[in-house]
């Protein structure tokens, strides 16, 4: 059996190409690294490195160990994270990572349901957007992720590999305009009617969706400002600096009285899903949390 500490040191040496560089990254001495590598070479029964001057080159055995050892370390890390997460749940805590508009709407609604059904359950909330939210789940820092994508947006399968996905919400987009705007008061408008407007854009993914929707309507949006802050978007539109195309979920917390939302004729939609690990969904408190989010989404 391999010693995981030796594999970690070996992976660092293989990546950096020297014992001294590995020692600096691992915050230990070079002799300690050399000692670990000698012990590992004794265990495998042969050399893992060829020393040429000041440099190191992997032998064929070293190359195979570098490839397979890295996969093994990743699997061990993932297993450790999931076991730790399950141990955390034994004391009744669920850690949720959601994007901003979900943290303002879906998560509080689900939390209210859980407060009635499981008053002892503790929720820890984190705010992050994909793909960073998935990285938190992989590192075991959260247990459940609420993520969004836009219709026809390709999904990076490697990012969500091994995760359980549960669709929650499919939202049409709405046009935000200031009160008194020529389109305000209309029940429904086509995007082509806003072709000459200036636009306030959201996050990078939201900007791509805006360009795609406007492109389907036959024009390129004149984006004069962009921000990830939903309240800032509302303020900018209210101030008359442009109009904005936003998911319907944002309408549940409009705070500016000088703002109007109008339905648009567009195929563009935002899709919201939750992601967790299959093993975690077997836990009663995780199942209850997922059910609460499904119920909250149905009422959104």
Phi, psi of 177 (to 5 degrees): -135, 155
Task: Look at the chain and report how many structural domains it folds into.
Answer: 2
pTM of the prediction? Answer: 0.67
Domain with 261 in it: what CATH number?
A: 3.40.190.290
Per DSSP, 158 falls in state T
User: For residue 163, what pLDDT is reported?
Assistant: 92
Q: Does 164 fall in a domain? A: yes
Q: Does 128 fall in a domain? A: yes
Do 174 and 278 lie in a common domain? Answer: yes
Q: Which of 87, 116, 135 is the last residue of a domain?
A: 87
Separation CA 164–CA 277 (nearest Å) = 6
Do 118 and 138 lie in a common domain? Answer: yes
Q: Does 209 fall in a domain? A: yes
For 171-204, the DSSP string reads EEEEEEEETT-TTTT-SEEEGGGGTTSEEEE-SH
Provide the residue range defining the domain that includes 133. Answer: 92-293
Do 81 and 223 lie in a common domain? Answer: no
**Cβ–Cβ under 8 Å, residues 290 and 178:** no
Q: Does 246 fall in a domain? A: yes
Do 79 and 102 lie in a common domain? Answer: no
**Cβ–Cβ under 8 Å, residues 181 and 243:** yes
Q: Does 96 fall in a domain? A: yes
Is residue 20 helix, strand or coil?
helix
Q: Does 300 fall in a domain? A: no
Do 119 and 197 lie in a common domain? Answer: yes
Domain with 31 in it: what CATH number?
A: 1.10.10.10
Do 205 and 248 lie in a common domain? Answer: yes
Q: Does 298 fall in a domain? A: no
Q: Which of 35, 66, 87 is the last residue of a domain?
A: 87
**Cβ–Cβ under 8 Å, residues 170 and 248:** no
Do 77 and 118 lie in a common domain? Answer: no
Do 287 and 242 lie in a common domain? Answer: yes
Do 33 and 139 lie in a common domain? Answer: no
Q: Which of 57, 87, 117 is the last residue of a domain?
A: 87
Mean pLDDT by 10 residues, the chain (300 residues): 81 86 87 89 86 76 82 73 60 88 93 92 91 88 93 77 93 92 91 95 90 94 92 92 92 79 90 92 90 94
Q: Does 299 fall in a domain? A: no
Do 267 and 284 lie in a common domain? Answer: yes
Q: Could you tell me which of 100, 50, 148 has the C-alpha nearest to residue 253?
A: 100
Do 176 and 257 lie in a common domain? Answer: yes
Do 114 and 263 lie in a common domain? Answer: yes
């Amino acid at each position: 059996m391999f010693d995981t500490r030796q594999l970690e040191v070996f992976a660092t040496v293989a990546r950096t190409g020297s014992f001294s560089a590995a020692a600096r990254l691992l915050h230990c001495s070079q002799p300690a690294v050399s000692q670990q590598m000698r012990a590992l070479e004794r265990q495998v029964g042969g050399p893992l490195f060829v020393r040429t001057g000041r440099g190191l080159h992997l032998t064929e055995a070293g190359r195979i160990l570098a490839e397979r050892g890295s996969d093994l370390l990743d699997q061990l890390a993932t297993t450790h994270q999931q076991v730790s997460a399950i141990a955390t749940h034994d004391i009744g805590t669920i850690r949720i990572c959601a994007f901003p508009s979900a943290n303002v709407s879906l998560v509080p609604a689900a939390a209210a349901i859980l407060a009635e059904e499981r008053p002892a359950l503790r929720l820890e909330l984190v705010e992050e957007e994909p793909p960073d939210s998935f990285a938190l789940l992989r590192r075991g820092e959260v247990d459940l992720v609420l993520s969004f994508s836009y219709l026809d947006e390709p999904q990076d399968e490697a990012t969500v590999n091994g995760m359980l996905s549960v669709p929650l919400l499919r939202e049409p987009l709405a046009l935000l305009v200031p009160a008194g705007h020529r389109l305000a008061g209309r029940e429904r408008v086509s995007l082509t009617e806003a072709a000459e407007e200036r636009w306030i854009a959201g996050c990078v993914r939201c900007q791509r969706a805006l360009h795609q929707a406007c492109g389907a309507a036959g024009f390129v949006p004149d984006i004069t400002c962009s921000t990830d802050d939903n309240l800032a978007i509302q303020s900018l539109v209210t101030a008359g600096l442009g109009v904005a195309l936003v998911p319907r979920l944002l309408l549940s917390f409009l705070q500016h009285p000088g703002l109007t939302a109008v339905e648009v004729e567009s195929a563009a939609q935002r899709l919201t899903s939750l992601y967790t690990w299959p093993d975690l969904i077997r836990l009663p408190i995780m199942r209850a949390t997922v059910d609460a989010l499904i119920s909250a989404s149905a009422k959104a």
